[in-house]
Structure 1
């Protein structure tokens, strides 16, 4: 397992118009670099059920870490995409994919991009930690929290809300469900009409999780040459662009640094021409006012 460091850096003007989700703060006002391993250890006590998450950064991107075990049967729905990366242990992301329930297993060291508008229910286990990246919501956007009747697609209970902090907002809604007649009976309440969702669910198939280290290893020559590569391609709103350090140190909106190819620090052991460290940045192309 790599020993990563997370941090922020000011984007360069030459990065182009796609970099629309960035901090406008000058370098002097930017947050300090954070050693993720240390931060996670210091905040493990905050990974509390039912959601088990803790925000590290909340501006135009929401950077959070999530521990376990959690206790969730709810499905979260949002108009934006979500990036998942497992630092410690594995997790299961239950999704409703094109009208069918499916379990996506994200293993330690794997990265996964969830398309927008896909209902999903993260299942996390003891002694696990994952990174989740979301974008800030537009003022017109609502998130949904939904429960289904058993393994069907029939809606049992749901709430729609403007999301600012999932860690604090989900728990009261989950508690409301546990106290509801729907939870007690397992049947929708006929006296409560389910609100028509503010957007249709996605009909897109979800990707398979992939090993971040294996991907970096397979593209190290292009990265070393400065070739721009996207982890997930160009058909998503979210872009994750790996870069070879140190030349990219001040070009990132939010950066994740880690040993990409070998745990050894010896150049002789690495072999000629193989960089010791790599970074990747993530941002959304959604424009905010």
Structure 2
């Protein structure tokens, strides 16, 4: 599978069940030059001797640029943003229709593009939305369509639910479908502190003839706003197939129209930074992620629009 080859080269988190599709002789025949042979041997060793696991389908998190900039926080920081894809509770506080989109390159590879889009608003006492995520290239394509809903109970507890439709398409192999879910809860502990929990794919969906498991992820975190200028976050993300990921980050309001952010992810080892610029009804977000163990940088940009009557 194209994505498994790419992830195997680019990411230290390796998922079980991949035995290597090419023999050493085939690699030698394909890469005749010395540098290519060396490169192939290194990749081959990663498959058989690396103690981690290999990324599978739909492992990529659908986060806004500002979420990534602040340590890839799995919960939304602002209403009217792409954060609704990973945290539908946030649309319960929307009072105006909004739309948001984002574009980024995963693993620092130009041939792998991820695009995100979400629209939402308020209907009676409920927040509703629709999100779409696409990842891949002409040979390998992941598409995720999410129907979002949320309810705010007495400004104290926000409950968010999303119904997710996964589509996986591989050139010359056809396509497969699966249905998943997400349940999120946000609790307001006070004017300055919020706690959150989320469970992705509690129904344990599988996809394709191989019955590949889709990610099951439990997330928990806390948002702290000691004053109007600073927002801090600490979160834990536990994929059932991966070691637990610990994340920290901070957003600082430099100006009324500008925020800057920094963060750190442990497992994998990533440093993050970025920010956003607010202008009228628009918010432009950007982030950079530095993979310390691999030595490359990825980026993400996005724009949000909120209709204010």
Q: Same fold (TM over 0.5)?
A: no
Per chain length, whose mean CA-contact separation is higher, i.e. which structure has more relative contact order (CA < 8 Å, sep 6+)?
1
Q: With structure 2 as the length reference, what TM-score do the two structures score? A: 0.25
Identify, as 1 or 2, the structure richer in strand: 2
